[in-house]
Structure 1
Amino acid sequence: MQSTELDRKVDAYKLGVGHMKELMPTMVEAYHQFTGSCMEAGVLDAKQKQLIALGISLYANNEVCTYYHVQEASAQGATKQEILEASAVAAAVGSGHILSQGATRVQQALDAFAAGMQ
């Protein structure tokens, strides 16, 4: 996918939010204030926060947020390597989530099923 297509998707999101703001200005402004405050540098710098947001976007399978946070992480100075490492961390967490459910819930279901078979 070319950068212009990615830009169009992010721009379409921004346009959509603009239309929402026309009908629900208080909600949209509150959202922007909240997210803006969350992404400001603090103990974690803005680049680290964008990399965290990227990982969550990937885990949530949110296409527009993924593109947006890659752009924002880059704008905050993240290198390709840092962006890819953040993606790898998200992959590890995502697969760990499935493994933990397999080791707990699936085993519980198997145990319950086996108990019902007796």
Structure 2
Amino acid sequence: MSKSYKDIIADTSSNIAKMRKDIPEVLQGFNAMAHSAGKGGALDEKTKELIAMALSVAARCDPCLGYHAKALVKHGATRAEVEEMLGMCVYMGGGPALMYAAAALAAYEEFGGEKAQA
């Protein structure tokens, strides 16, 4: 059975919305941190999203793969950039990282990223 990263992040976002009502201060703090950390500076936003995707692979976080794949497409990451980053993930994380690198690439494609050449 194939995963839909669009469905995964939709479900996750729905659950986070419930938490936002119950613990608003925590979610406001998290959102502020995410905004501040992701803002361009010495590293541009695309580079920061490549780092976030690498950490998502390492953490084996399916919702993270979806959110960061969507952001990578938004920031114009090329397939070559994504694959080079995933190669570093596999190098650093071995077999389990390879499995999540493959899933990260599927998420990138699902959100409209470049497909492999036939």
Hey, what does 1:91 align to over in structure 2?
90
Tell me the residue number matched to 1:15: 14
TM (norm. structure 2) is 0.74
Q: Could you list the structure 1 runs, at least 4 aligned residues long, displaced by more than 2 angstroms after superposition.
A: none
2:111 corresponds in structure 1 to none
Give CA-to-partner distance per residue, 1:11-70, whole Å, 9 cap, x none: 111111110011000000100000111001010000000000000000111111012111
Q: What count of residue pairs does the alignment treat as equivalent?
A: 93
Which entry has the higher C-alpha Rg, 1 or 2? 1
Does the Cα contact within 8 Å between 1:59 and 1:91 map onto a contact in 2?
A: no
What are the equivalent positions in structure 2 for 1:71-90 lying under 5 Å apart?
71-90=70-89
Pairwise CA distance, 1:86: 1.0
Q: Which has the higher contact order (CA 8 A, sep 6+)?
A: 2
Q: Report the 3-state secondary structure (helix = DSSP H, G, I; strand = E; otherwise coil) of the residue aligned with 2:40.
A: coil
Tell whether the 8 Å contact from 1:70 to 1:83 is kept in structure 2 after alignment.
no
Q: Deviation string for 1:80-116 (max 9, x for gaps)?
A: 1111111111111213xxxxxxxxxxxxxxxxxxxxx
Paired residues of 1:54 and 1:69 also in contact (CA < 8 A): yes
Aligned to 1:100: none
Unaligned runs of 5+ in 2: 95-118
Give, in whole Å, the separation in 2 of the partners of 1:35 and 1:87. 22
Where does residue 66 of structure 2 map in the other structure? 67
C-alpha RMSD of matched pairs (Å): 1.2
Where does structure 1 lack aligned partners over 5 or more consecutive residues? 96-118
Q: 1:8 & 1:17 partners in 2: Cα distance? A: 14
Match of 1:66, as an amino acid? L
Using structure 1 for the length normalisation, give the TM-score.
Answer: 0.74
